[in-house]
Structure 1
Amino acid sequence: MPSTQDPAPQVTDPSPSDEPGGTTLRRLRERLGPLVLQVECAPQGEDVLIGRQVIHDLCEPVPAQADGVLLVVGGSPDRDDCRDAIRQAGAARYSAVVVKARGTDLAAAAGAAEAAGVALLVAPDDMPWRHFDALVTAATSAFGPAQDSYSSIGIGDLFPLANAIAYQVGGAITVEDPLGHVLAYSNLPHQEIDEIRRQGILGRQTPDRPTNLDEYQRVIRAEGPVRFVIPDTEHINRLAVAVRAGPQLLGLLWALDGTPPLGEGAEAALEEAAKVTALHLLRARSHRDPDRWNRGEALASLLDGAVSGSTAAAQLGIPADTSTTVVAIAQAAPEEMPGLGGARIVDLVGLYCQAWHPQALCTTTGGLVYALLPTRTDPGAERRVVKFAENVVTTVQRSAGLALQVGIGVPAARLDDVPAGRRTADRVLRALSGDPQAPTIATVSDVRSRVTLMELTERGAPSVDLPAGPVQRIIEHDAQHSTTYAQSLLAYLDAFGEAIPAAGRLAVHENTLRYRIRRIQELFDLDLDDPDTRLVVWLQLRLHQITS
């Protein structure tokens, strides 16, 4: 909950309206609905233009802001200082003042607003001011009347989109981001809502319920819409679908299945709506923070090697000769809710990047999260990057309950070298994922041998499928007869031919292992007394283990 005394006026800048002449009070009221906004009085009528919001501290003078909306934070409508702020707003040519009633009589404040020629609006007592401000920003970012046709809605106009979907599907709609934040909602008066929806709108976050995790998991894993029958008679059944752009999870759509119930075509309509919503969410995301979005896309292109270092330097605002280190981050276990964990991780990694260096960046690509950290070349540089990774792992585990593994690449002297640094970081991650005893965080030095084997595989090292090779025949024999000759032989060679430690690793008696080794040499014509044979056999078995 934000403080009720902000230190200074803050002007929030919504996106330019697509409606000629700007947004009107009437449109704002229609968009937000009576649950979020009530008009106590409007002496100039509801067709007045609505401009920027100003969060106001009663201890400060009201700043000039023509057509603005003054949010009187911490004020009580029955106090003189609140009424004085209303009079100042009228003198400064504001369109509206927003207060919270908090059980007081609004008559005096309404009288002051009538005299000042400014509309008096009332926000819910239980909605945090920052959430109300964000809703007004979203609702005024691109206006147009509620439509029943997707084609007539401007890209990124989430509130009219929600109304259009509600019309098509037949139930009240909520648009959420992957973290459950309410981005927009429908406001068709004939459609039923319940307390869960009310709390979600007021708090701009899905209320915490014991079944939330299971419900979100089902929706995000499903290929299409999912129905939920809620046994609580005070709550309404729901239909939900994930919104994706390719493999990337962008958000969720929730439809209330109340009275009247959704029709037979509701699932198909909601699934079609998800495709349309994906375009809107991509536009809304880029519009909210276009610089961050563009830089993230440019970083992904640099990591993939799709652009040169000089091109990336211009797009990222980083000199081409900057020394950097790539950090690759993955979840240690398969994600229960695909896409949701990645969204949480990239948000937290982004915060640490900001703290690390003004030019540090993070993005997601290929199912992983990557951070690009400008680094110095002094001896302590690697340790600082490891500390960065430790902080990220600890914070994500504590706040999101997700276990991570982190691979740290070799430093890149120039941006042109970043793709190579990314490949190394990926190999380190792969080395960690293939070893149950591996640490959470590793550099190339920590897993150098395993990374070297991966490089040999990628560069065309002797393959396990050479014709008539003994290793290939051993592997095929194991597959056909359910034997463990390959595993036994690798353990034996790993132990330098010592049967006792190798047998301990395999949990068999040492004599059993010795018998297996003799059988392997007999069946596959293998001379383990030859050092070159031992080397090649071990290498092929090890590469097979890594790549299988």
Structure 2
Amino acid sequence: MGSPERDRSMDAVRDEMMSPRPRRGVLAAVEDPARKARSDATAKPECRSCIPSLFRGDVCRGGRRRLSSTSWASSPGRAVLTLKPRARVRPRRERTGMNLQTLVDDLAEDLGRSVVINDAQYRPIVSSAQGEEIDELRARGLLGRATPPRERAYLESIHLSSAKRPQTVNLDRFGARERLAVPIRSRDALLGVLWLITGGLPPLTSSQFRAVDAAVEIAREYLAAAQDEIPGRSTRDMVLRGLLAPDPIVRRDALSTAVRAYGVSRSSATVVRAVAVGHDTSVVQRASLGRAVESLATATFMFMGEIGAALLFLERSHENTRTDDLIAATAARAGVPLRAIGSAYLTGTDIDVRPVAERAVATAAVAELLPDLGTSLRAEDVGPWLLIADVVSDPNRLQWYSPAAYALIHDADPLRRQTIETLLDHAHQIKVVCEELHIHRTTLYYRLENMPQVVKDAMDDGMKRSALHLGLKLASYWENAGHIQ
């Protein structure tokens, strides 16, 4: 669970947490031969992220997926969409956030089938790459940017627009495969419908249904914002999301409500846990894992949201010492790689959960960068490392902070540094130091007597001795980050 790249600074690790990289397939459009020669002369590789505008003939805006150099047939039924293996384009996702295109791409990858989201008028808003399961009805709907009239009339006749729950739709009469229609609603308003082809495909598993539920929750936020609707969340969910809101006033009000109504306390009985997941974890997988952890029967977790790629949970009690093991097991069942877990508890003076959450995220970053400390850490146990992690400067400046520490890390004899660091770690307890170093007391005194003068001076001065100890730990941090070879 430690970071595979040991050459990153803490800021780099945090940046990675803020920008998980998605994994996706590649879409190719295969046109009928009669039109291919003419289209090849002018077509350019397009990116999959622009599929909605692609049907209107807009220029690709650049991004993750590349299409083969063909154009789409303009007449219904003339195009076939298939998956075509090509080299993946995997640029790092910018920290501007996730969009609906990313959502359907991630969900399609998790489900192993294509995904389409329509608006309330049965017009496609966004679609994933279309695999081999595509039928003529979907191809015509995507190319025409609307559900054909006859099929739309049928959907209206079965009152799909008033459905409150996922509904199986039999389309045999139209020569099309069975669909699963999942309504996306905000209170009583239908914002859209998420469509999956189910006919002729393996049944969805419970974890896949959980992924669909998570995707619908995320899509509701985007569609509600686009239509100036209020997302249909429960009061509890709104309070929990408010704990990490951008507005500090909203955060404070949310914490007050959580204390009053949901058993949260401003004390060590309430813990914030930051669960840092793998860089390639999709947004749907993260949301699905959040739901799975929240539903654990043996612990009381409340999912607040995310800071970067870290999932944030509020736990009302941390008496269960197996909490982190439960989270790790849940992540393993969901197929989500777990990088590290950091925790921080509330205090009586906290009026805002966000700083506590950020401290938990920083603790997880320390656990990832320094796996020897453990893959699950508490902020109160690694306070000095959090202090060191906040020092942002050039390692060469170590000679400014502590010339003695600088001399030891560049000394040709590594035993000198080991001896001084062990002595400081154990508060000059000679017996303990000798046992730790496996040396005789006389050998220890000999080593100390032969230290560089700058080190001797520092050991005789309280402030310089403290700076030396901190400087050696800072050097260890920088070495793990790859800044000092």
TM-score (norm 1): 0.42
Instruction: State which structure, 1 or 2, has the greater radius of gyration over its C-alpha atoms.
Output: 1
Larger RCO (CA within 8 A; separation ≥ 6): 2
